[in-house]
Amino acid sequence: METTLRGVGVSHGVAIGEVRHMGTAVLEPPAKQIPADEAEREQGRARQAVEAVAADLIARGNLAGGEAQHVLEAQAMMAQDPELIADVERRIAVGSTAERGVYDAFAAYRALLANAGEYLAGRVADLDDVRNRIVARLLGVPMPGVPDSDEPYVLIARDLAPADTALLDPTLVLGFVTEEGGPTSHSAILARALGVPAVVALPGAGEIAEGTVVAVDGSTGEIFVEPSQEKRAEMESASAARKAALSAVTGPGATSDGHKVPLLANVGGPGDVLAALEAGAEGVGLFRTEFLFLDDSKQAPSEEKQIAAYRAVLEAFPEGRVVVRVLDAGADKPLDFLTPADEPNPALGVRGLRSLLDHPDVLRTQLTALSRAAEGLPVYLEVMAPMVADRADAKAFADACREAGLQAKFGAMVEIPSAALRARSILQEVEFLSLGTNDLAQYTFAADRQVGAVSRLQDPWQPALLDLVALSAEAARAEGKSCGVCGEAASDPLLACVLTGLGVTSLSMGAASIPYVRATLAKHTLAQCERAASAARAADSADDARRAAQAVLSGE
């Protein structure tokens, strides 16, 4: 009998197939004591296992490339954390086996994160995965993970570790569903990069029996369990029509009446460039530079290394617009040489631009490297600062850009409500705004972007969030400047129309989403987008806002 479940759709497309469950690890080793003369040997085993797991994660990242590489390199750094390793060795010194020492040390660190109010809840899932990989290696047992199957399937898991998501085979994994996570979790971001339909934050998904046929709609978040033949035919027909519409629309982003909306790509490094070009991206709206700094948490990369990486991306978009975000460290991306280690709430502490202003040499080197990388290239370089709170922040960043001799536009990210409320003031110092809707939602609703339990507050359709977008866009229009969106909100085709109606001047997203957004914009006029935006803002909930906009755009 067909039943319908609803989670949060995070990656477009339809998947119909049999369920396979992710293997779960029960890897708690026995608590037994070892003789004192075996401690050194056990410590060596632990160190070897840690290094092997870190090397495996880095190798997986190199294979996956792009955003996945950035995530997995960060996870490898977690495995090699000196304080964790020291704790493991202390526990072995007083009688624990290597595997028990690892298990207990990671458990203690996990508790610290939880007691910090779960600001780093997304890192907890990563930490558990690292622990399981090290313990499995020490015990000599296989690491449970993606099921072994010769036939395509829909994967269901409590959550997916980055190491598993990064290497999913799209020819076998038709789509996936998780009980945890949110629209901006690592799993969601990597699913969009892979182009795999995905639904997250679906409580009870694990109770769907192995082998059950399900139909997954990654756009609406709906899961149809044992769908009827009629439902399957309806979804397959809709999916085919959607693909036909995508292939029929090409060229720059625009509404049906010719209002231009440049469609740009979010990239995490040179590895993401090819997908962006294949999708027809008109440039880069968010070039995340963290991938360079995660190779070594002890020191910043050299200016020459930065120049080479930046130039590889800039050269790919001749006469295109490339918007670079300077290093956004802190919170879930700590760097030993830059971010404080003892903050009670890292997401509310010294992160983003705040870290860079505390370390002006790091900022100066990055800005100089960007300036040199762009020399002689016919590219429109724009550089923006993350976590700008007010005009003083914007001025400090603009001054640093000028002092470095950077020939580019300087901008500010709007990720904090204060920046949206005072956008016109900030625009006295910079030339453009870019809305990071992931963090803007997190700070507007006090809802951690990695915690599934508060995912409804991370929904970019929340009217309060749309109000902040509108304030920013109105301020930019009044100042004759641009205001783009580079957060995950831009990847929702329907919401892209609403953002356009709110006055947003460009949209940046994962490459896989660009064709969907281009085709949807091309079906509607600017006036329709504006009416949809007004209807969404007049609603009282995210669901009502989505329905109201849909009604306007469908002519109901």
Active site residues: 186, 486
Output the CA–CA distances (angstroms, integers) from residue 412 to 308, 352, 444, in the order listed: 25, 11, 18
**In the chain, helix, strand, coil percent, each to 5?**
50, 15, 35
Output the CA–CA distances (angstroms, integers) from residue 89 to 37, 82, 133, in the order listed: 14, 11, 18
What distance in Å separates the CA atoms of residue 445 and residue 555, rounded to the nearest whole number? 32
What distance in Å separates the CA atoms of residue 297 and residue 338, rounded to the nearest whole number? 9
Annotate 34-76 with three-state secondary structure. Answer: CCHHHHHHHHHHHHHHHHHHHHHHHHHHHHHCHHHHHHHHHHH
Sheet holding 153-157, edge to edge: 3-6, 222-225, 213-217, 14-21, 153-157, 173-178, 198-200, 8-11
Task: List residues bridging with 217 in a β-sheet.
Answer: 14, 222
Q: Quick check: 535 and 549 in contact, CB under 8 A?
A: yes
Q: Where are the beta strands (DSSP E) in 118-170?
A: 153-157
The kind and range of the H/E element at 310 are helix 303-314
Each residue of 91-123: b (16+ CB within 10 Å) or e? bbeebbbbbbbbbbbbeebeeebeeeebbbbbb
Q: What are the DSSP calls for 416-452, one per residue?
A: SHHHHHTHHHHTTT-SEEEE-HHHHHHHHHT--TT-G
What distance in Å separates the CA atoms of residue 176 and residue 302, rounded to the nearest whole number? 40
What distance in Å separates the CA atoms of residue 101 and residue 107, rounded to the nearest whole number? 10
| Chain centroid offset of residue 232 CA | 31
Q: Is 419 exposed, middle or buried (0-12, 13-18, 19+ CB in 10 A)?
A: buried
Q: Quick check: 382 and 284 in contact, CB under 8 A?
A: no
Q: Of 511, 13, 406, which Cα lies nearest the Cα of 222? A: 13
Q: Residue 477 corresponds to which tokens in the numbers above? A: 């229009």
Q: Residue 254 corresponds to which tokens in the numbers above? A: 């625009």
What distance in Å separates the CA atoms of residue 310 and residue 289, rounded to the nearest whole number? 9
Task: List residues bridging with 323 in a β-sheet.
Answer: 382
